[in-house]
Structure 1
């Protein structure tokens, strides 16, 4: 599963990866409003000379041609992020919110945001109703946590629901949460929405290395960028019939009781939907060992990724999940560049590795025709 002596895979361009991540984090893309991020990634893929197409819903398919189409592989990451929507225009001129994706209002309190109204963009802050210690004293600390206990104060004159309507704000408007990104000299990156824009940046860096190598993978390798993973149906409509295996790229959770780390690659053995494919997962582990990529295994009990939505939609593919360790996932997240470059290298090596399961190179069997 290693490259031949006359084959060279260029090192992962860490500067390119970092620049792509910074650009993606700067583009708001809460689930349901991802056009800007999709356009950016399409541009990056086309700059590499890749074939790019959009699904009807707006997810991206890009093909890196291989020696044959049958038994194709795919890697998938998601462009959508957590966010919120306007639930109601409150009589006090504030906005009630509902979350987009699963995240705690604990991490929403104090967030700077943009209301993405139909004809305007308005800045604001998510606050608890009891936001002033000078007014409410210790009651501030005793206030409950939850989406029913926060409201959005916009940075415009609005004292009534009618004022909000006059500003062009309506129920259902998307609310994009500021990432508050910091890149540290130590290699750490702190930001919201590293899930999964860091994974997308790693995928783009892997593709850049593959294209620069000039090497032809043994089979077509597809690169999917989905737009609704945070609400559970990201890869449901992107997998093509010729694809035999699908590797999802997403965040791993570094926390007590978990084996994930913020360095190297964390390979998931199972998530809440069950074990990943034994053969595909073992292949990824062996690629790490052969190339000296720092890695570890983990199991995620309260977690699912694009691979789950593909399987639930009926895709007949082997699935695996490779992750970069994230501290405080779905909160104020932190990762390290080492994990991202490690993930990118593993993906590139996987794309070039031989097909070892003969059945995966065969066309799909159709029981109706016997073909």
Structure 2
């Protein structure tokens, strides 16, 4: 949980993830695990197994939702363009950071232009969209020229304050639990395998991808020997969903279609034989690195599991129990033989 809190506190909107990748890289290096970066900037750790003729791949993504500066308004405020699939209402009132091309960081707040109820009669009814929402920069600026003099320009990345909090009751509340909760789980798993000298049945690759939120983080660097590909990502909660904050969610289908039936049954058998609490679920408006890998033409078996996350792509929350159940299933999965 401490590692997760650290991860969500590092800004990493898709397209600007080098800082968090370096954090992950150092964590694994300190644990004695060798890594390499792919050309996209993602990180891969490979642990040799008994059988090197067949491989497994697990992935979790470290990139998050965010925004870019779309326009510098004459008023000195910023119009933004969203990165990832979420709605403007989910960031209204949020503190943010603007990172300039030179690396300088400014703070601000994302607000409706018509925020003040003392001035704007339609403050509550105005649509939350790109035209009406803007960033109020915490600097003394009143024009586009003054903003540009700070070094802020179109294309600068905007990241959202995670507001991370660990509660005494075992919850973690934060933005970007999607998918840094899963990244934290995989990092601890890799460290445990290495520290305890656990021998895996197959050579296993762990990809920390950095473009999942825009659809293609994990669709490459898959070895020809890879048989199974398991994405570790959030379980989506809401009306009609089985997923909760206390179990591991095993996805059977998302917007891309069904996940591999044999691998799904294998994961369920592992959960039941090891007293792991799980839920099967369908995520109707969802895609993963595993589905991206399938769409890119790789001949693999694909699956998707993860901790249950409430209010995904907004004010997210999960519980320690969901983290633990997901970690247990992964621990047994990487030591199991292929489902086929």
Match of 1:236 in 2: 219
2: distance between equivalents of 1:277 and 1:213? 31
Q: Write the mapping of 1:134-153 to structure 2, written as runs, cut at 5 A.
A: 134-136=118-120, 138-153=121-136
For 1:103, which of 73, 86, 93 is the aligned residue?
Answer: 86
TM-superposition CA deviations, 1:152-187 (whole Å, max 9, x none):
110011111111111111001000111011101111
Query: Is residue 122 of structure 2 the alignment partner of residue 122 of structure 1?
Result: no
Match of 1:191 in 2: 174
Match of 1:281 in 2: 264
Displacement after TM superposition at 1:356 (Å): 4.7
For 2:115, which of 124, 131, 140 is the aligned residue?
Answer: 131
Q: With structure 2 as the length reference, what TM-score do the two structures score?
A: 0.97
Q: Write the mapping of 1:1-371 to structure 2, written as runs, cut at 5 A.
A: 18-119=1-102, 120-136=104-120, 138-357=121-340
TM-superposition CA deviations, 1:24-57 (whole Å, max 9, x none):
1111000000001100111111222222111011
Q: With structure 1 as the length reference, what TM-score do the two structures score?
A: 0.89
1: distance between equivalents of 2:234 and 2:321? 14
Q: Which has the higher helix share?
A: 1
Cα gap change, 1:41/1:322 in structure 2, threshold over 3 Å: closer, same or farther? same
Secondary structure of 1:316's counterpart equals coil
1: distance between equivalents of 2:192 and 2:221? 24
Report the aligned-residue RMSD.
Answer: 1.1
Secondary structure of 1:40's counterpart equals helix
Task: Please say which structure displays the higher CA radius of gyration.
Answer: 1
1: distance between equivalents of 2:65 and 2:4? 16
> Gapped runs of 5+ residues in structure 2?
none
Secondary structure of 1:220's counterpart equals strand
